[in-house]
Structure 1
């Protein structure tokens, strides 16, 4: 089974995941834009188990559909590395694709909150788009 490690910028916080991603997507909601400091968040979901090394600071946010998300970031360099959805921590984790530092990583399959996508952002051909969160 393939193993992958995502790391913060300073290397203090790491997460190890196993296997292929359950899904890869981008989110253009304003919360993700502000959280990442970019025009969208690129995320990959992985099945548990996963292993976290280092110290993380947590930020909890309630999504538009009422789900609570626990974002973990490095208290040293500020990298937002991964998050879990409350109630699903034991089954899956979403990792920031850029933190995997793997240019060969699979492209996104889904794009959510397309209504907030910057007009100059081009998506891969064939990607499923949703005006808001489909869940």
Structure 2
């Protein structure tokens, strides 16, 4: 079992997971674009348990289907490091870029592809959904 550590930009907030990701996805919804300041968010879902060190501030956003997304970000540098979802109690979702690992597995799915910027090209084999299929 591989242990991976992701951290915020200043290193104050860290999350450690002790498993391979259940899946990797990218989201092009407008909320993720605003939250990340990028044109999409890349996240990896990991099974429990996980360990957090440092202080975080939480922000709750309600998704289209009514689920609460609880985003944890560093109060020092502002990096959104991970999130949980109200209707998912056995998984944590970590920002892929926070692992600072260019060899991290590629995404398998792309959600809210209807909001994808036309110049963003998906890797081969990625399953795309116009909205969130869940």
Q: Same fold (TM over 0.5)?
A: yes
Give unmatched runs, 5+ long, in structure 2.
Answer: none
Give me the CA root mean square deviation.
Answer: 0.7
Q: Distance in 1 between matches of 2:66 and 2:86?
A: 11
Q: Distance in 2 between matches of 1:105 and 1:17?
A: 14
Q: Distance in 2 between matches of 1:36 and 1:66?
A: 21
Aligned to 1:123: 122
How many pairs does the alignment contain? 134
Change (3 A) 1:114 1:87: closer
Aligned to 2:15: 15
Offset of residue 86 of structure 1: 1.5
Aligned to 1:72: 72
Give unmatched runs, 5+ long, in structure 1.
Answer: none
TM-score (norm. length: structure 1): 0.98
Offset of residue 31 of structure 1: 0.2
Q: Which runs of 4+ in 1 moved over 6 A?
A: none
Q: Distance in 1 between matches of 2:38 and 2:67?
A: 23
Aligned to 1:42: 42
TM-score (norm. length: structure 2): 0.98
Q: Distance in 2 between matches of 1:82 and 1:19?
A: 16
Q: Distance in 2 between matches of 1:87 and 1:97?
A: 21
What is the CA deviation profile of residues 44-75 of structure 1, one whole-angstrom value per residue up to 9, with x for unaligned ones?
A: 00000000000000000000011101000000
Offset of residue 87 of structure 1: 4.4
Offset of residue 88 of structure 1: 3.0
